[in-house]
């Protein structure tokens, strides 16, 4: 089944404790992206990747890192999480220019 998977789906952590949210797709898509969704602010793009080893900042990259070492995986790294990074995170993938497929979301709470 074609899908985008994210893990974990829910995470509660403390300020400053490094964490990684994984994203994986099985559709051989070149393009992958991370978004955060907050009430009243819509979807905001964090980072995106046009292909392996090619990443670029989105609208809100501060406090986040990404890597794209393999085509199928695009992990999101929070080196030192802070409470303002409490949010719902979505990973998405697509062929370049075509519709994005979204993962189920990761709800992160930083206390």
Partner 1 sequence: AQSVSQHNHHVILSEAASLELGCNYSYGGTVNLFWYVQYPGQHLQLLLKYFSGDPLVKGIKGFEAEFIKSKFSFNLRKPSVQWSDTAEYFCAVNFYGQNFVFGPGTRLSVLP
x-or-dash pattern for partner 1, window 74-93, by CB under 8 A? ----------------x-x-
C-alpha 31/C-alpha 92 separation (Å) is 8
Q: Are 17 and 65 in contact (CB under 8 A)?
A: no
Q: Are 23 and 5 in contact (CB under 8 A)?
A: yes
Min dist CB 66 to partner 1, Å, is: 14
Q: Are 23 and 4 in contact (CB under 8 A)?
A: yes
Only segment of 10-18, 20-28, 40-48, 68-76 that touches partner 1 (CB under 8 A)? 40-48
Interface ranges with partner 1 (CB under 8 A): 33, 35, 41-43, 45, 48, 50, 56, 58, 90, 92, 94, 96-100, 102-105
């Amino acid at each position: 089944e074609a899908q985008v998977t994210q893990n974990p789906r829910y995470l509660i952590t403390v300020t400053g404790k490094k964490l990684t949210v994984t994203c994986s797709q099985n559709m051989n898509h070149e393009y992958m992206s991370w978004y955060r969704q907050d009430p009243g602010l819509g979807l905001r793009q964090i980072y995106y990747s046009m292909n392996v080893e090619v990443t670029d900042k989105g609208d809100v990259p501060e406090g986040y890192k990404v890597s794209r070492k393999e085509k199928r995986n695009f992990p999101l790294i929070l080196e030192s999480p802070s409470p303002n990074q409490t949010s719902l995170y979505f990973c998405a993938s697509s062929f370049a220019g075509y519709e994005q497929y979204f993962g189920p979301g990761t709800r992160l709470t930083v206390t």
